[in-house]
Chains A and B, each alone.
Chain A
Amino acid sequence: MRVTEEEDDRTSGATEAAECVELRAIRVQVTGQRFCSNRVSTAKYNALSFLPCFLFEQFRRYSNCFFLFIALLQQIPDVSPTGRYTTLVPLLFILAVSATKEIVEDVKRHKADQETNKRQVEVLRDGQWLWLTWQQINVGDVVRVRAGAFFPADLLLISSSEPHSLCYIETANLDGETNLKIRQALPTTAKLLSVTALRDLQGTLHCELPNRHLYEFTGTLRLANHEPLALGPDQLLQRGARLQNTKWATGIVLYTGHETKLLQNSSAAAPLKRSTVDQAANMQILLLFFLLVLLSLLASSCNEIWASNFGFQHWYLGLEDLPTSNFGYNLLTYIILFNNLIPISLQVTIEMVRFIQATFINNDLEMYHAETDTPACARTSNLNEELGQVKYVFSDKTGTLTQNVMEFQQCSVGGTIYSAKSDVVVNSSGMASSMVQDLTAKHSNAPYIREFLTLLAVCHTVIPEKDETNPEILHYHAASPDERALIQGAARLGWVLSSRTPETLTITAEGMEHRYQLLHILEFTSDRKRMSVIVRTPSGKIKLFCKGADTVIYERLGSAAPTGPQQHQQYIRQVTTNHLEAFAREGLRTLCCAVAEIPHDIYEEWKHTYHRASVSMQNREEKLADAANLIENNLVLLGATAIEDKLQDQVPETIGALLEADIRMWMLTGDKQETAINIGHACRLLNSNMELLVMNEESLDGTREVIGRWLSTRSEGSSPLSTTMASSAALVVDGQTLKYAMSCDLKKDFLQLCLQCRAVICCRVTPSQKAEIVEAVTIETQAVTLAIGDGANDVAMIQKAHVGVGISGMEGLQAACASDYSIAQFRFLRRLLLVHGASNYYRMCRLILYSFYKNITLYVIELWFAHHSAWSGQILFERWTIGLYNVLFTAAPPLALGLFDRRCTAEVSYRYPQLYKPSQSAQHFNVKVFWFWMTKALIHSALLFGLPLMAFGEDIVWSNGKDGGYLILGNAVYTYVVVTVCLKAALETSSWTWLSLLAIGGSVLTWFLFLAFYSHFWPSLPLAANMAGMSHMLLSSPVFWWLLILAPVTALLSDFSIKTLWNTMFKSFTDQVCEREINLQRSESGKLLDSQRRDSRTKLVETARLMRSVRNVFRRPNASSDGARGQTELELSHGYAFSQEEHGAVRQGDMVRAYDTTLPSRSMDKL
């Protein structure tokens, strides 16, 4: 079942319009309700629909329709010059090959669907948990999902293993956000833990009709003996998300299969993508069709003129007695005669070549990721050559560029840099120092270190959990990956958070247990850019620990220092700033840490203020922030942390290579601006020479103004498209601004601005915005776009781009499934584009051009011959030899060109990204190239007909004086054509393997063998009477053999000379590189090349320095003062970034207070 886009729009539109009217009523745990099955299908066909769908798909192609038309025409008696079945049989053969390919591909899809549908989940049936497959789940069922597992459908959370029936879900697949989200069941259902309790759960559930809004959900649950309960997104567990940090969760199935939010978002049937080359080829086919009609008209007009002027004089023809000699019939005859100007085998040759090219991609060991055992996978083969023309790459961040793994790398404490990893680090003065050493050695820094580590262990919302099997091992559950990294880092350094109760935190440090009483958690928000906790220390002091962006922390630093003279604090601040810059330079995410001791009286006073704020009914958020602001003061700077948001392997190198290949790279991420810019630097998308344009606008007018200002400044000095300009700017825009910028009237200007920038980063964008950007660029530039991503949030973008690439192998495979190509690592994109893309494009162009060429060469000869045969439409060749031309005698050379030819080796294409440019700019297949080949084909056909015509004279070409007949000339010409086009293929082959040799040599040989066999059919078989004895006659003629040398040499002389001339005088960069490589290979000094391989271990970009070039940062109007702007600049230069769930289902403070990890958690065994 497939929900089309229109249907979906209609339903969602209807929901918005009349919410109260259209509702879905679900009876809990009642079977037999009529809803969509949870079985999903992405396959194109099933056994029944295959034939009609396949035929429909096939006959949407002009060429197949055309050949069907020809095949039908041939059934009209007395019209076809080539018999009745000479088109039908090849057509059927070709359809059979296509069908085989489709079946093979669809079986794969069926298997993939099967794998999903057969995944198992626990379902409550008849009072017990049964393991059932996903496809057996019905709406209304109660299911139980275990930790780490994916939700099989959209569920309503009933209860979970955690306190208050909380549960964490990871939605990276859905929206790409890195932090975990918290869901909480309704208190009424939260206590339904046991099987019996769940079994007795009865009631009705009303909710919206299926829609595509991921975070919207409203409904009511009417349980027996209960008031109706309001349901919201907090209870929704979407399919595609997975359960984390929670042992298990139970839920009622709300939406299934294609009605789930996830599938609604990607339910639009995968668009049929066609490559640019394909479209161009289709255009040429259309062109050839007109040429064909033109030729046919010309020839049949000539025939008409000849017949009416001279026809009746030629008494021996008996034309006057023939009924079917009018213009219309002749036109049809000629259309049939010339039909093969359009190569019938082209489509199938292309399909076969693509299929094998795809297997080359699938089998490339260089794109095989051993850790996850994932090879690259071409899910569609229609776009192989499109990979060679990519101009824009749109990349997701999380999971694509980054690993979504945070690691606490370094920290600066009290003015010294320590490693948080190996415990030894080279500090700025080059001296190795160790935090633990300094601690134990009573270094002057020791108090700072102690305080710093305490902060890390206390100031967070992480929940520790003892491993069930080994209590020594602690698992940390955190909504923020940063905090998790920090707490793990602190644990490594000896400050271990061992347990948490609603009121206290217990820390094991230096062999002792310290219990901190948790007084308040001042939550993190993006506006505050910090979080604080207020605790009562074991010694009874009240302390505030705060971590956040350096700008906000520095603002709140007090003038006094707890220990040491004030001067020391000043020193620390200065050094820490330098350290922050150093961290940012390495692309690390930084947070500043500070502490303050609060006198009891002030605390008591503040507590009331805070309490009032927390119970206020209006603007609670704002009031809480204000209250927090009051106490977060007079801080003492302890230091800073540096967390590495780990990039995938070789991301900077890959991006560098892509940029070098003139591919524009855009990063579209749902993540925050700071993180995005951080990663932009880390992966060298942004560099020191770039001007950074940051757009954060909150109104349409503001956006318009900024875009206008920018465009005018850009176009002032130099022309807007000058390359220096383009290379010097990077645009950073957030989702809100993007919404305005993509509105109708601004769209064009905005895109123009974007296209002038070398790199564009869009942050906080929704999946649909991603798709919108990709689509807009696709339309605006007409260039080939590629989108790469790993999560469900990238699916829309992947489907909209010309080529969609999915990252597979890690967790979610949504993107991979929707993609055209899936690779395990971002770095494989380089090989996919530069090696496979470029060579596939080159090969495909050669293949298409060659196919056109060979057909025109043969079939235009019919035109020349028509001039000698009274325009009667007689063919010069035997009808089946002509029919088999495309499927037998010249089928292999195009395959060889399409599969084995290459100009440079994979290594060279990989190493020289510039070699991508010719294919990117369509240099191998455009109108000029096409006509160049066509002209050659015309010249060849004229020579290949003219030379034998003259040499055979009046057909006496044997010493026995006998005369030959038209087929002697015909077969001789045919032989020369086959030999010439095969030699032409040889001439076009740059790289010879034994397979190319076999294909080209074999084709010629096949023809001769065929000739020998076919000449002996008659009279044993009622076929080819006119070929009887042909082989002996033809092969015994010396003229034939001498001409076999002369004709191809003459025809190819010009090609050979032009090619040589070109190679000598107008050598392209590609030629030079290849030539050099070959020469090197020959002299066996290939090592030379290796030595020139770039040192891939270059240092990361110097973020901080280059960040000073941020000159144009547009802030939101309400904060556009110079100070605020400076603040943003500073933040950018100091690499501040932090992820945390905000405004979530459960407030962070409440959430941590819900846990008492000293108690054993609810285990499943009890139920």
Chain B
Amino acid sequence: MPDHSGNSQPSSVSRKPSNSAFKQQRLPAWQPILTAGTVLPTFFIIGVAFIPIGIGLLHFSNNVKEFVYDYTDCKSVENSNLSCAAILEMNITKNCSCVLPVNLTETFDGDVYIYYGLSNFYQNHRRYVKSRDDHQLLGTLGPVSNECDPFARYPDPNDPSIIKQVVPCGAIANSIFNDTLTLMREDGQLVPVLNTGIAWPSDKQMKFRNPPNSNNNLSEVYKGYVKPQNWRKNIWELDLTNPENNGLQNEDLIVWMRTAALPTFRKLYRRLNLTAEGYSSGLKAGNYILNVTYNYPVKSFAGSKRIIISTTSLLGSKNPFLGIGYIVVGCIVLLLGIVFLIIHIKYGKSNSEMTNVTPRSPYQ
């Protein structure tokens, strides 16, 4: 240490600190004290508010009509001794279909949505989630991202000596759900459904685009590429009726590419065409038939497949949890409120006495 001895150069500027509220730590402050007495109103208000909210939310959830059918082990139409799953296990390329009875006991009012549901399917696996090329999906025809490995390049099926890039690459696209579900009335008439408007508009606008200038000629554009290994159709054959829904812009693909959070999930497959005659108010109660083209193997990983026909409420699909949660928490808060009321009555008075402390009171 040096000796900074002696008075420093006399300066005309005083070193007196400025008297600002911030520097002097004298900002106006509010000091709430949480005691049984002061929090009682809060507890009762929360309790009283939460329970009706919970009941309301539960009511919403209960109004949702939902039909769920697990068709994993459905019997094959072609070979009624075997389930489609078993046939698929023998030969993955074999066509197999099921016919499932759908019995709607009540009318499904308003918008009706058809979902497929998978379970024990880890769409949230780290390897799986990242196995995509967002630039490619946006229509950029460049070198494929390494993230897609090992679903990035394959030899051309026609000429195995040529290695071609995959469009769309990656594990997600490769494993797209490819069962076909068709809902029919008992009389064999198809229930009119739409395959558009099932993906988020933002996804469709910002994330999935066919290469520019492709117009209707997708097959030309993707000539130099191969389809993912597990696909039965080419990329340009996804929706031949609607060019806006074809190729990378196909909404089934877009929905699939939005990976689910949990291993049990459902994905929107079709929605009821309310403009069609006879369906303006929804799906009437009665018996329907569901035709399933069974292509998707889930038995190997002990998964299951479901079909879900559902209406929605303001809160989406049927899920009573939120309502129950509100009611339970509301009850707990009320209970605590009562406990605190008792405590307040017992201890509240002695508080005022206890606060009679002076600088001389001993520390407890």
Which residues of chain A have a CB within 8 Å of any CB of chain B? Answer: 40-42, 77, 81, 112-113, 115-117, 119, 149-150, 173, 239-240, 242, 262-263, 266-267, 270, 310, 313-319, 321-322, 325, 333, 359-360, 362-365, 368, 370, 373-375, 792, 795, 811-814, 816-818, 868-870, 872-874, 876, 900, 902, 906, 911-914, 917, 947, 949-970, 990-995, 1018-1019, 1022, 1025-1026, 1028-1029, 1032-1033, 1037-1039, 1042-1043, 1046, 1049-1050, 1053, 1056-1057, 1059-1061, 1063-1065, 1067-1069, 1071-1076, 1078-1079, 1092-1094
Nearest-CB distance from B49 to chain A (Å)? 9
In the assembled complex, the Cα of A557 lies from the Cα of B344 at a distance in Å of: 77
A911 surroundings in chain B (CB, below 8 A): 359
Chain A residue nearest to B30 (CB atoms) is: A992
Question: With A363-B23, A374-B15, A963-B258 in contact, is A818–B359 under 8 Å at CB?
Answer: no
In the assembled complex, the Cα of A360 lies from the Cα of B115 at a distance in Å of: 62
Which residues of chain B have a CB within 8 Å of any CB of chain A? Answer: 1-9, 14-19, 23-25, 27-37, 39, 46, 50, 53, 57, 111, 113, 115, 117, 121-129, 131, 134-135, 138, 146, 149-151, 171, 174-175, 198-203, 206-207, 255, 258-268, 271, 297, 300-302, 310, 312-317, 319, 321-322, 325-326, 329, 332-333, 336, 340, 343-344, 347-348, 351, 354-359, 361-364
Partner of A965, one of B131, B261, B344: B261
In the assembled complex, the Cα of A900 lies from the Cα of B33 at a distance in Å of: 17
Contact B266 A1046 (CB under 8 A): no
Question: With A322-B149, A792-B3, A1057-B336 in contact, is A955–B343 under 8 Å at CB?
Answer: no
B357 surroundings in chain A (CB, below 8 A): 1069, 1072-1073, 1076
Contact B262 A963 (CB under 8 A): no
Query: Which of A959, A1022, A1032 has the most CB atoms of chain B within a 10 A radius of its CB?
Result: A959
A41 surroundings in chain B (CB, below 8 A): 2
Given contacts A1032-B202, A1038-B314, A1049-B46, 6 further A-B contacts (CB under 8 A): A240-B3, A317-B125, A963-B258, A963-B260, A966-B259, A1060-B35
Question: With A375-B16, A963-B268, A965-B259 in contact, is A951–B322 under 8 Å at CB?
Answer: yes
Contact B301 A817 (CB under 8 A): no
Question: With A116-B2, A363-B24, A1057-B336 in contact, is A872–B266 under 8 Å at CB?
Answer: no
Chain A residue nearest to B25 (CB atoms) is: A360
Contact B207 A954 (CB under 8 A): no
Contact B15 A314 (CB under 8 A): no
In the assembled complex, the Cα of A40 lies from the Cα of B271 at a distance in Å of: 83
Contact A953 B317 (CB under 8 A): yes
Chain B residue nearest to A913 (CB atoms) is: B359
Chain B residue nearest to A1020 (CB atoms) is: B206
Contact A872 B126 (CB under 8 A): yes
B362 surroundings in chain A (CB, below 8 A): 914
B348 surroundings in chain A (CB, below 8 A): 1064
A1033 surroundings in chain B (CB, below 8 A): 200, 202
Nearest-CB distance from B251 to chain A (Å)? 10
Contact B271 A961 (CB under 8 A): yes
Nearest-CB distance from A180 to chain B (Å)? 16
A968 surroundings in chain B (CB, below 8 A): 261
A874 surroundings in chain B (CB, below 8 A): 124-126, 129
Nearest-CB distance from B47 to chain A (Å)? 11
Contact B347 A1079 (CB under 8 A): no
Contact B261 A316 (CB under 8 A): no
In the assembled complex, the Cα of A956 lies from the Cα of B359 at a distance in Å of: 62
Question: With A364-B24, A990-B31 in contact, is A868–B127 under 8 Å at CB?
Answer: no
Contact A963 B35 (CB under 8 A): no
Nearest-CB distance from A268 to chain B (Å)? 9
Nearest-CB distance from B131 to chain A (Å)? 8
Chain A residue nearest to B122 (CB atoms) is: A870
Interface residues of chain B: helix, strand, loop or mixed (majority) = loop
Contact B5 A1038 (CB under 8 A): no
In the assembled complex, the Cα of A360 lies from the Cα of B359 at a distance in Å of: 25
In the assembled complex, the Cα of A1042 lies from the Cα of B329 at a distance in Å of: 13
Contact B203 A1029 (CB under 8 A): yes
Partner of A373, one of B14, B19, B123: B14
A374 surroundings in chain B (CB, below 8 A): 15
A1032 surroundings in chain B (CB, below 8 A): 202
In the assembled complex, the Cα of A1026 lies from the Cα of B39 at a distance in Å of: 43
Question: With A317-B128, A951-B325, A1025-B207 in contact, is A262–B3 under 8 Å at CB?
Answer: yes
Contact B122 A314 (CB under 8 A): yes
The 19 sampled A-B contact pairs (Cβ below 8 Å) are A117-B2, A150-B6, A313-B301, A317-B128, A814-B3, A814-B4, A872-B128, A913-B359, A952-B319, A954-B264, A955-B261, A961-B316, A963-B267, A992-B32, A1039-B315, A1042-B315, A1053-B329, A1064-B340, A1072-B355
B53 surroundings in chain A (CB, below 8 A): 1042
Contact B17 A362 (CB under 8 A): yes
In the assembled complex, the Cα of A1064 lies from the Cα of B345 at a distance in Å of: 11
Nearest-CB distance from B31 to chain A (Å)? 5
In the assembled complex, the Cα of A1068 lies from the Cα of B354 at a distance in Å of: 10
B46 surroundings in chain A (CB, below 8 A): 1049
Partner of A956, one of B27, B131, B317: B317
Contact B325 A1046 (CB under 8 A): yes
Chain B residue nearest to A814 (CB atoms) is: B3
In the assembled complex, the Cα of A242 lies from the Cα of B5 at a distance in Å of: 9
In the assembled complex, the Cα of A876 lies from the Cα of B124 at a distance in Å of: 9
In the assembled complex, the Cα of A957 lies from the Cα of B312 at a distance in Å of: 9
B39 surroundings in chain A (CB, below 8 A): 1056, 1060
Nearest-CB distance from B16 to chain A (Å)? 6
B25 surroundings in chain A (CB, below 8 A): 360, 900, 902, 906
A967 surroundings in chain B (CB, below 8 A): 261
Contact A963 B1 (CB under 8 A): no
Contact A959 B314 (CB under 8 A): yes
A1042 surroundings in chain B (CB, below 8 A): 53, 57, 315, 322, 326
In the assembled complex, the Cα of A81 lies from the Cα of B359 at a distance in Å of: 57
Question: With A313-B302, A914-B363, A995-B27 in contact, is A1064–B17 under 8 Å at CB?
Answer: no
Chain B residue nearest to A1026 (CB atoms) is: B134
Contact B17 A952 (CB under 8 A): no
Question: With A993-B27, A1043-B322 in contact, is A318–B1 under 8 Å at CB?
Answer: no
Partner of A368, one of B17, B263, B347: B17
Question: With A954-B265, A1042-B322 in contact, is A812–B312 under 8 Å at CB?
Answer: no
In the assembled complex, the Cα of A240 lies from the Cα of B255 at a distance in Å of: 81
B16 surroundings in chain A (CB, below 8 A): 365, 368, 370, 373, 375
Contact B171 A965 (CB under 8 A): no
A1050 surroundings in chain B (CB, below 8 A): 325, 329
Chain B residue nearest to A1029 (CB atoms) is: B202
Nearest-CB distance from A661 to chain B (Å)? 9
Nearest-CB distance from B33 to chain A (Å)? 5
In the assembled complex, the Cα of A813 lies from the Cα of B149 at a distance in Å of: 69
A365 surroundings in chain B (CB, below 8 A): 16-17, 19, 24
Contact B301 A310 (CB under 8 A): yes
Question: With A315-B300, A317-B171, A960-B312 in contact, is A869–B134 under 8 Å at CB?
Answer: no
In the assembled complex, the Cα of A325 lies from the Cα of B150 at a distance in Å of: 13
Contact A1049 B329 (CB under 8 A): yes
A817 surroundings in chain B (CB, below 8 A): 1-4
In the assembled complex, the Cα of A965 lies from the Cα of B317 at a distance in Å of: 15
In the assembled complex, the Cα of A911 lies from the Cα of B125 at a distance in Å of: 61
Question: With A874-B129, A912-B359, A966-B260 in contact, is A954–B1 under 8 Å at CB?
Answer: no
Question: With A316-B174, A954-B117 in contact, is A962–B268 under 8 Å at CB?
Answer: yes
Contact B126 A239 (CB under 8 A): no
Nearest-CB distance from A846 to chain B (Å)? 15
Contact B33 A1075 (CB under 8 A): yes
B263 surroundings in chain A (CB, below 8 A): 868-870
Nearest-CB distance from B44 to chain A (Å)? 14
Chain B residue nearest to A906 (CB atoms) is: B25
Chain B residue nearest to A362 (CB atoms) is: B17
In the assembled complex, the Cα of A373 lies from the Cα of B17 at a distance in Å of: 10
In the assembled complex, the Cα of A1068 lies from the Cα of B362 at a distance in Å of: 12
In the assembled complex, the Cα of A690 lies from the Cα of B197 at a distance in Å of: 90
